[in-house]
Chain A
Amino acid sequence: MLNKDLIIIGGGSGGLCAAISAKKQGINDILILEQDQEAGGILNQCIHNGFGLHTFKEELTGPAFAQRLKDEAKQLNIPIWLNTNVTKVTKDKIVTCINDNGLWQIKAKAIIFTVGCYERSLGAIMTPGTRPSGIYTAGQAQKYLNQDGYLVGKDIFILGSGDIGLIMARRMVLEGAKVHGVAEIMPYSNGLKRNIVQCLNDYDIPLYLSHTVSKIIGKDKLEAIEISPVDKNLKIIPNSAKRFKVDTLLLSVGLIPENSLIQDLNIPLDKKTKGPIVDENLQFYDGMFAAGNGLHVHDLVDYVANEATQAGINAYHYLNNNLSKGKLHKIINKDNIGYCLPQQFHEDAKPFKLSFRVTKPISKAKIQFYDNDNLIKEIIKLNLFPAEMITININDDILNKINNDLSIKVVEINA
């Protein structure tokens, strides 16, 4: 059996950032395990720009962003095993993985899970109709186009207004396809505002809000789809379908953190984030940390980078027996909060960043913090959207007043 101080599972942006920060802190014996043939994760197929405004203070493409991290990891002599699939992790931190050199068991002192996420598929959304070819997740079509060099269709419809779907709408137009529209079941888009403007509006692609694909038509190949409006309960309103003759349906209906390794450990996941339940140190089990899209789905790679960098620092403190410990306070999501991270923190916690999403767009809101029923702090925020993560520093002014659980509410202020 091999031994390592720190194993990082996943060599995407999160894994690379975690490794770089851990190394800079002083952990020398690090190994990154990456299942793909190169590090960088999903950034490698995101050839559009807009990455890195926060991290590098300039606009980079996905591959360029990834390259900077890869270069830095190389400079720091951080080993990466590519084409390596982790098959098992045990609670005493033995990692089993396979690659073409064999099957390996490595005992780690700490593990950071930067495992990323996968796209929800057609099966998961139960759309009625046949199951022909011509239906792909947006990310899959993106890989075919940007990495393999092939277009999957010429007449496209997109279900879901997640960012990858919006990016792919523009991308397919630039490659000569016609994008007939984007349907979004919610009354608002799930993508970033800048993507709605730059990818749909600039190319006159209609966005059908409160609509979903109600039928898939075609025996072998997709021939057409129908979209229908939905009511307040997201149920399809009958007899109102609109038909589009398309050869391709792209799905951008959500991302799910990939946590089968953690589930195999019988460690429960957060029902909302579908990632592990972490404390303020991003730790979910003794010596196991999570960051990036495997913990929860982020808006921007910059946020992944920040979180993973923090996980690397925390892993260092863990190895030096220097992390906060003691009684755990839960963080309870109340009104209008979709989810919140971390889900708990220690009584002796140092100030930390708390991130949350709202469940609906709110133009002006009071964000309230309670110790049980006692209001201890209130912040006013403008323009809150489900697609945009809100981050707040939890400082001593809150921490010192918490004796029980910390509840958070978003209270709408009517204009």
Chain B
Amino acid sequence: MNDVIIIGGGIIGAFIAHELSHYKLKITLLEKDNDVANETTMANSAIIHTGYDPKDGTLKAKLNPIGHDLYKQICKDLDVPYKEIGAYVVAFDDNDIKTLEELKTRAINRNIIYEELYPDTFLKQEPNLNPEIKKVLSFPTTAIIDPMQTCVALIENAIVNGLKVFLNQEVKAIEPIQEGYKIKTQDKEYQTKYIINCAGINSSKIAKMIGDNSFDIIFRKGEYYVLDKKASYLTKHIIYPCPSTMGKGVLIVPTVHGNTLLGPTAFDVDDSLDTSTTLNGLEEVKTKVQKLIKDIPFNLTIRTFAGLRAKGSIDDFIIYENENHPHFINVAGIDSPGIASAPAIAKYVIDNFFNELQPKENFIKTRKGYYNFDSLDDETKAQLIKENPKFGHIICRCEKISEQEIIDCIHRPLVPKTIKAIKKRIRPGMGRCQGGFCAPLVIKILARELSINPKDICYDSINSNILKQESKGDDHVE
């Protein structure tokens, strides 16, 4: 019998699992996909907002600033990137300036650092901004992270501290039993005292399994462009238009790895699997970002993608324990500022729905991050190659990722088994050539390190094999 089962291995499930792993509990995380961080966590703007945006009185307003303030230390402990690059909210006219006033009032009330800037100053900082911009509200403590790496790091660290993770476990039914619940997946059964539903876009589906119809999830699609690192001259800050009812609008966001994200759109769709980009969506992003910065080098686009955010039918985070089913906790409707609030959401869940937890004496707090070989100085690189020649063997030419980094990434508590899982963690295939050169090499390394046939290496889901059949009888891959 588990004490807690967490349904969903996105960043919310990861933070909650990580927080619970501090205590003497038997915890399991079930993920329906072939890797964690595979839906909304994989396709978002990756911003740690400071918390000026949510309306007063909401859970979002309460948790976002707390979450923001917790990140720096967590990212340090887990050795994942966190960059406080600051954000500019820009105003074009009097209406916008009025909105900036509202944001400013909230910032003051919530003790959030801000600065009002006018063209003479902000154009010096960001010379590419549209000169028609009248005023900027700057939030210098707004940060960016790598949500996939952060999610994986939290889960890796939680596993070291006792968490069990099962991939490819899609919850099909939940049944109350004497001491808690029985969870049925497509091929297994689990028993648990507590359930925490962090299933993101599928969270209302999970709640309905015990007859809870009190909320629905709206699938809000966001489409993005990713620009090559060569476009990083565009902006040092995150650039937002003034927010509207459909969210924070279409943004220009530098990523922690030096790329630039443009997006997202906000378009509600009916299908929870509809992560397709559209002509109209991509056109909309193009039009809108060109209002913020006029000359955007779209020829440096290396990828376009779409993600779904799980917008709750109630206009706030939906976090509660089911009235009729004690210890069944829904953590749903976590749309923006979901990532920024996530560490605070985890603490909120534990403070409100768990009693008398016993902390582990031997909790391991820190985790060693990936090497990020390319970012090291020549002396350190030389030293590492001396210790292990595989650091000197570059696999991904665009992102300069060495064989040893891939090997290190594979042999971790949560073993990545797919091309995409490796890509999400240490980025081979995230560069200009999008895996054209390195994917065949990554397949060989994965097959060798995991002792499996190259034909069984998948791109992502368990059916997405890349090599369909040998062309000539024998297995030709070393």
Q: Which residues of A contact B (CB under 8 A)?
A: 35, 83, 85, 87, 96, 98-103, 105, 118-119, 121-124, 126-134, 136-137, 139-140, 143-145, 147-154, 175, 214-216, 219-221, 236, 247, 256, 258, 260, 263
Contacts and interface: CB of A to CB of B under 8 A. Distances in A.
Given A85-B397, A148-B476, A153 B378 contact: no
Contacts of A133: 458-460, 464-466
A149 B279 contact: no
A144 B389 contact: no
B477 A148 contact: yes
A151 B378 contact: no
Contact of B460 (A129, A175, A220): A220
Interface in B177-228: 225-226
A305 B454 CA distance: 36
B394 A149 contact: no
Contacts of A175: 471
B393 A83 contact: yes
Interface in B387-403: 389-394, 397-398, 400
B382 A102 contact: yes
Nearest to B462: A220
Nearest to A129: B276
B287 interface: no
9 contacts: A35-B397, A87-B400, A131-B275, A137-B433, A148-B467, A150-B454, A215-B276, A219-B273, A221-B463
B141 interface: no
Contacts of A143: 440
B468 A151 contact: yes
Contacts of A215: 276
B463 to A, nearest CB: 6
Given A96-B378, A98-B394, A129-B276, A220 B463 contact: yes
B468 A124 contact: no
Interface of chain A: mostly helix, strand, loop or mixed:
mixed
Interface in B423-478: 432-437, 439-440, 444, 454-455, 458-461, 463-472, 474-477
A103 B392 contact: yes
Contact of B467 (A98, A152, A263): A152
Given A127-B277, A140-B437, A149-B477, 17 more contacts: A85-B400, A98-B381, A119-B433, A121-B433, A123-B301, A128-B282, A129-B277, A144-B467, A148-B454, A148-B476, A152-B466, A216-B276, A220-B461, A220-B463, A236-B279, A247-B468, A260-B432
Nearest to B286: A126
Interface in B84-110: none
Given A96-B378, A149-B475, A149-B477, A123 B461 contact: no
B301 A263 contact: no
Given A35-B397, A98-B392, A121-B433, A150 B378 contact: no
Contacts of A236: 279
A132 B471 CA distance: 23
A136 B467 CA distance: 11
Interface in B358-417: 374, 378, 381-382, 385-386, 389-394, 397-398, 400
Contacts of A123: 226, 301-304, 434
